[in-house]
Amino acid sequence: MSKYEVSNSASGHSFGVVEADSTEAAIEAVCRDAGYDSKAAAEAAMGRDTELVAIELPAVSLQYPVPTIDGAWAASRETHIAVATAIHAISDSSRSADDIWAEPTAAEWDHVCMAVENYVSAGAFAAEDDGRYPWGAEAVVLK
Position 82 in a domain: yes
Is residue 37 over pLDDT 90? yes
Same domain, 48 and 85: no
Q: Which of 31, 56, 81 is the last residue of a domain?
A: 56
- For residue 31, the enclosing domain spans 2-56
Burial of 50 (0-12, 13-18, 19+ CB in 10 A): buried
Kindly report the pTM of this predicted structure: 0.64
**Total domains in the fold of the chain:** 2
Position 63 in a domain: no
Which residues make Cβ contacts (< 8 Å) with residue 121, sequence separation at least 6? 60
Position 62 in a domain: no
Same domain, 96 and 136: yes
User: What are the tens digits of pLDDT across the range 51-79?
Assistant: 999 999 888 889 999 999 999 999 999 99
Position 65 in a domain: no
Q: Which pLDDT score, from 0 to 100, does residue 16 have? A: 86
Q: Which pLDDT score, from 0 to 100, does residue 60 have? A: 80
Q: Show the CA angle centred on residue 14, arms to residues 139 and 111, nearest 5°.
A: 25
